[in-house]
Amino acid sequence: MRVLQIDSRLGWFEFLMLIAHALTKWFLVPTGRFCAVDHLSFTVRPGEVYGLMGPNGAGKTTSMRMLLGLLDADEGYAEVGGFRTDVAPREVKSRLGFVSASDGVYPWLTVREMVLYFADLYDVAPDIAQQRLEEFARLLEISPLLDRRAGTLSTGQRQRVTLVRGLIHDPPAMLLDEPTRGLDVVGSQTIFRYLSHLREVGKAVIVCTHRLDEAERVCDRFGLLHRGRLLHEGTLHDLQQQTGREHLVDMFVDLLRSANGTGTGSLESQEVQP
Amino acid sequence: MRGTAGRMIRLCLKELRETLRDRRTVMTLILMPILVYPILSMTLNRFLLGSALSVDADQPESIIGVATDEEAEVMRTLLSQEGSKPPAAVIAASDGPPAIFAVLGPKEWAQYGVPRVDPTKSLEDKWFDVFVEVKLEAPPRIRILALRGDVTSQATQRTLVDRLNYLNQSFVASELASARIAPPAQIQLDVERVGIEQSSSLLASIIPLVLVLMTITGAVYPAIDLTAGERERGTMEALIASPVSRGAVLFAKYIAVVTVALFTAIANLAAMFVTLWASGLMERLMGTDGSFPWLQFVQIFLLLILFSGFFSAVLLTLTSFARSFKEAQAYLIPLMLLSLAPGVLSLMPGIELTSLLAVIPLLNIILLSREILAGSVSSGTMVVVIITTIAYAAAALSIAAKLFGSDAVLRTSEQSIGASLRRPAATRPVPSWSEVATTLALIVPVYFVLSTFLARMAPQSEDVSAITWALVGNGVALVIIFGGLPTFAAWFCRDQFYETFRLRRPSILSSAGAILIGLGMWTWAHEVFLFAQWLGIRGLDAQRIAKVTEAAERLRLVSPWLVLTVFAVAPAVIEEWCFRGYLFSALRARTTAAVTIAATAILFGLFHVVTGNVLLVERFLPTTLLGLALGWVAWHSGSIWPGVLLHLSHNGLLNLVIYYKERLVGWGIGVQENAHLPLAWLAAGCVLVFAGAAGVYAGRSRSEA
């Protein structure tokens, strides 16, 4: 296990919460199979927000699902808190919080019932879960919603509920897949406030987002993913030096142009190996 | 442990809460029964009213049998009177013309070839619809006999009673019209049902069909909503990302679906019974007296628990595949049509619950319910139906747990359904839960059908070749069921044979100890058998015992080697292969040694109880005891081989004693079958067992104990 590594800048041993080791996933398609994620490797420290960026179909969601153990990797593995996804999937799952834009709610349960149900799934003692729920509800301003049916919530309210739900077992690492999709400016700001809070309390966070401007402000490090490969990795400063561009938006445009000349990186244009 | 149970209860409550708050569930649960049954009963009432007036359109005459020609004349006179015709309002409300009665006295009997038998017999043979006895008094006294449980006969009886009542009323009317003060003449009426209950009572045939329909109605929506609905709502990913096992989540959903299905069934059942009872249709359909049929109500309810338990598991398996509501509904339509077939089939009078049909899912429950309602069920068949149904439900549920939230369901790409059921790519040390459940669901019906078949094929004569073939057949069946099926399952699922069948080499001490236990164990088994009989646990009557003894006598005609091979060597190797190998390793990897030993011993005992159509309940305690000993030895030795030796020495000794019984008696070593053993023998048995146990314990495997 490579949980401890020497930090090149600090010259100090540091603890790695999340590690991806050459994660690879092939999908079968009618014309053959294509590589959705190609030997993806990266690490995330506690208290660090890692932005996994890339156009649609770059393999971000598939990578997240492999980290979570929802999909089995064809090659490589991930480690969370020292546990390997392929060896101890339950240990890994209990150490990860997960929030996605496509997250739904149980329309007939109240917010409180739903969050406590997830606490039960993560085996959190009911009294502790209740305590955390009140605390996170205050933080994300959903205290008045706790006893309302989840089906009656607005999109923004629903997203805040799923943020609380992802945190209820107090995981050391969080995965957020497009958390701002479908949210207005206020809603997005809440998400980025939440990310800052996660960093403050020392969580290792991976976030996928298309809000590049906000990501520049909130992420400590970035990985630029294209066609399943990690093309660039580092802090914003590192990326600026690597690409010679000031902003992530420009880096993205360059990336897409150089990769296929058309500027679209959708799944359909992936090269297919029979 | 308590925390886990509490959590499981909370998970179940969440699923129930979610379902019961849903408006659509409540609609099917409450509104359907409240609306459907009254409407249905009104239609049925009208239909019955029509049929009561014209009993059968194709056969316009209802036949009344009478014993003498004088009585026939009186009946004809009465029925030909204008006053006996139904009032105009009743005729207008019915579909056909009023019924016509043909009265057959002895004069006509010869003409139609009616034999001279007693009235009940003639009704059972369907010569007449009703039989009437007329006492020639003034006014006449009439006794109507109808066949119990026969719909036509009872309808004719009711029509006849109605007609004679109309006549009485017309008498009253005419008497009053002529202003006579003296009380008008009245015909005295007695109604009686005779003959044995006919099995094809209408309700017994219809109830199973309704049972299928109402349970489906209740279970379908929650089953889809709690599985495919998870994906459609977008809660599936978060659910599967949690560390709780899919089996636990799915089990909670299963409990919720069964509960809702039962609620719906109870609501429907109550609505149906109350409507039928209140409208008086119950009496017409079932031939009961006017009281509420509590017994049938409870019987049907118990069947519903079994049925909904099975059906919910099957539903969940299908809906767990589905990625959306639409897809789930598409899967369920064929299932619904398929499940209507047995219901319709059960309406046919010729279909009976044979041993083969008793293992066919769904059809077995429906036929069982029909037999229970008709009061003609055998306990052996009932147990088989219940056990196979539970096994099928468990297998379906374990498949559902495998499918729910699997790669194919979770991913958006088109992935074939079969992929989740394909041979796994990687080997694993021991069988999984779902594999064991599926294997058991295969073993139970195959075992039952084969053992019934073999019992039927058992030779009744002293033909040596027939006996030999029967013995060989027994051996082959054993090898196929308990050897072949687990081996195939282990191969298919790529389990490591060495670990799965626990093939490691045992120590010499534990092997020797196991043989000693086997030699001494029969004394204990014998005493436990007597204890079971003393408790009144007895499956065989004197006649059957005589048959079994006879069969044992016949075995002496063939070679002792064949007997030993079939009854000692084959069971020792094959049963250990299955129970202390396959099942033991699967259970041991997931539970404590005590639970593993107890569970395998109880299963071992249960399989020995069901032989053919007969339940040998008295065998349960001794075989379970032997199973416990075998399990204990298997645990300590870490291998199946000492168990094989124990089983072999135990069965071998018993069979040799039975084979050479007469010679032994000649030597003065006789054992009375139903008497306790001499104390010295018991003591010797105890010494052997304890010495053997000490040997096994001393030679125990370090890795296990």
Which two tokens mark A131?
């305590």
Percent of chain B with pLDDT over 90: 12
Are A120 and B410 a contacting pair at CB < 8 A? Answer: no
Q: What are the distances in angstroms from CA A116 to CA A109, B58, B355?
A: 11, 67, 49
Backbone angles phi, psi at A144, to 5 degrees: -70, -15
* Interval B639-655 mean pLDDT: 91
pLDDT greater at residue B631 or residue B332: B631
pLDDT of residue B367: 81
Candidates A65, A89, A123; nearest CB to B7: A123
Tally C-beta pairs within 8 A across A and B.
Answer: 81
Residue B434's closest CA among B395, B489, B464, B472?
B395
pLDDT band of B501, cuts 50, 70, 90: very high
Q: Distance (Å, rounded) from C-alpha A244 to C-alpha A246?
A: 7
Residue B99's closest CA among B162, B145, B42?
B162
Cβ neighbours of A29 in B, within 8 Å: 413
DSSP at B569: I
Q: Where are the alpha helices (DSSP H) in B482-592?
A: 485-492, 497-500, 508-534, 542-555, 560-564, 570-575, 584-588
Residue pair B611/B458 in contact (Cβ under 8 Å)? The answer is: no
Residue pair B434/B493 in contact (Cβ under 8 Å)? The answer is: no
Q: Which of B202-211, B325-334, B452-461, B686-695 has the lowest mean pLDDT?
A: B202-211
Q: What are the distances in angstroms from CA B301 to CA B86, B253, B308, B340?
A: 40, 22, 10, 19
Q: Which residue has the tokens 């039952």?
A: B448
Sign, Cα dihedral of B282, B284, B285, B287: positive
| Burial tier of B503 (Cβ tally within 10 Å: 0-12, 13-18, 19+) | middle
Candidates B19, B238, B413; nearest CB to A98: B238
| Burial tier of B76 (Cβ tally within 10 Å: 0-12, 13-18, 19+) | middle
Q: Distance (Å, rounded) from C-alpha B293 to C-alpha B316?
A: 34
How near does any CA of chain A get to the CA of B220, in Å? 18
* Interval B629-651 mean pLDDT: 92
pLDDT at B285 > cutoff 70: no
SS3 content of chain B, % helix, strand, coil (to 5): 70, 5, 25
pLDDT at B416 > cutoff 70: no
pLDDT at B415 > cutoff 50: no
Are A108 and B14 a contacting pair at CB < 8 A? Answer: no
How near does any CA of chain B get to the CA of A117, in Å? 7
Are B243 and A94 a contacting pair at CB < 8 A? Answer: yes
Are A165 and B7 a contacting pair at CB < 8 A? Answer: no
Q: Which of B346-350, B409-413, B544-548, B681-685 has the lowest mean pLDDT?
A: B409-413
**How do A32-44 and A75-80 pair as beta strands?**
unpaired
Cβ neighbours of B428 in A, within 8 Å: none
Q: Distance (Å, rounded) from C-alpha B557 to C-alpha B551?
A: 11
Q: Where are the alpha helices (DSSP H) in B55-200?
A: 69-80, 88-93, 106-112, 119-124, 151-177
pLDDT of residue B284: 60
> Which residues in B512-529 are b (16+ Cβ under 10 Å) and which e?
bbbbbbbbbbbbbbbbbb
Q: pLDDT of B224-255, one tens digit each?
A: 988 888 888 888 888 888 998 888 999 999 99
Beta-carbon contacts of B137 under 8 Å, excluding residues fewer than 6 positions away, are: none
pLDDT of residue A87: 86
Residue pair B102/B62 in contact (Cβ under 8 Å)? The answer is: yes
Are B238 and A165 a contacting pair at CB < 8 A? Answer: yes
* Interval B573-586 mean pLDDT: 92
Cβ neighbours of B21 in A, within 8 Å: 108-109
Which two tokens mark B359?
């293992």
pLDDT at B20 > cutoff 80: yes
Q: Which of A254-263, B195-204, B674-683 has the lowest mean pLDDT?
A: B195-204
Cβ neighbours of B414 in A, within 8 Å: 30
The contacts found for B468-475 with CB under 8 angstroms, 24 or more apart, are B468/B558, B468/B562, B471/B555, B471/B558, B471/B562, B471/B563, B471/B566, B472/B562, B472/B566, B474/B566, B475/B565, B475/B566, B475/B570
pLDDT greater at residue B521 or residue B58: B521
Q: How wide is the angle at C-alpha B231 spanned by C-alphas B229 and B235, nearest 5°?
A: 95
Candidates B14, B22, B410; nearest CB to A70: B410
Are B17 and A122 a contacting pair at CB < 8 A? Answer: no
Backbone angles phi, psi at A25, to 5 degrees: -140, 130
Which two tokens mark B198?
């006919």
Candidates B10, B234, B413; nearest CB to A102: B234
Q: pLDDT of B90-112, one tens digit each?
A: 776 665 667 788 888 888 887 77
Q: Distance (Å, rounded) from C-alpha B649 to C-alpha B517?
A: 9
The residues pairing with B479 across neighbouring beta strands, listed in sequence order, are: none
Are A100 and B242 a contacting pair at CB < 8 A? Answer: no
Contact residues, A window 115-154, toward B, CB-based 8 Å cutoff = 117-118, 120-123, 126
How big is chain A, counted in residues? Answer: 274
pLDDT of residue A149: 92
Q: pLDDT of B295-354, one tens digit each?
A: 777 877 888 888 889 989 999 988 887 878 888 888 888 888 777 777 677 666 666 777
For the question of whether the overall pTM of this predicted structure is more than 0.90, the answer is no
Q: What are the distances in angstroms from CA B214 to CA B184, B208, B315?
A: 52, 10, 14
Q: Is A68 an interface residue toward B (CB < 8 Å)?
A: yes
- Start-to-end CA distance of chain A, whole Å, equals 35
Q: Distance (Å, rounded) from C-alpha B397 to C-alpha B320?
A: 10
Q: pLDDT of B21-55, one tens digit each?
A: 887 777 777 777 777 777 776 766 655 555 544 44
Question: In chain A, what are the domain boundaries?
Answer: 47-69+85-258
DSSP class per residue in A113-146: HHHHHHHHHTT--HHHHHHHHHHHHHHTT-GGGT
Q: Distance (Å, rounded) from C-alpha A156 to C-alpha A145?
A: 12
Largest Cα–Cα distance in chain B?
111
Beta-carbon contacts of B73 under 8 Å, excluding residues fewer than 6 positions away, are: B105
pLDDT of residue B408: 52
pLDDT band of B601, cuts 50, 70, 90: very high
pLDDT at B598 > cutoff 90: yes
pLDDT truncated to tens, each residue of chain A (274 aa)? Answer: 445 555 554 445 557 889 999 999 888 776 767 888 999 999 999 999 999 988 888 888 889 988 988 888 888 999 998 899 888 888 999 999 998 877 789 999 999 999 999 999 999 999 999 999 999 998 888 899 999 999 899 888 888 899 899 989 999 999 998 888 877 888 888 888 888 888 998 999 999 988 888 888 889 999 988 888 888 888 888 888 888 888 888 888 887 777 655 444 343 334 333 3
Nearest chain B alpha carbon to A113: B14
Q: Distance (Å, rounded) from C-alpha B575 to C-alpha B552?
A: 22
Q: Which residue has the tokens 């790519």?
A: B425
Are B241 and A118 a contacting pair at CB < 8 A? Answer: no
pLDDT band of B410, cuts 50, 70, 90: low
pLDDT at B374 > cutoff 90: no
DSSP at A110: B
The residues pairing with A79 across neighbouring beta strands, listed in sequence order, are: A19, A84
* Interval B551-556 mean pLDDT: 76
pLDDT at B203 > cutoff 80: no
CATH number assigned to the domain with residue range A47-69+85-258, chosen from the 4 options 3.30.70.20, 3.40.50.300, 1.10.1060.10, 3.10.20.740: 3.40.50.300
How big is chain B, counted in residues? Answer: 705
Candidates A28, A94, A108; nearest CB to B18: A108
Residue B49's closest CA among B291, B284, B272?
B284
B601: enclosing H helix or E strand: helix B593-609
pLDDT of residue A128: 94
pLDDT band of B258, cuts 50, 70, 90: very high
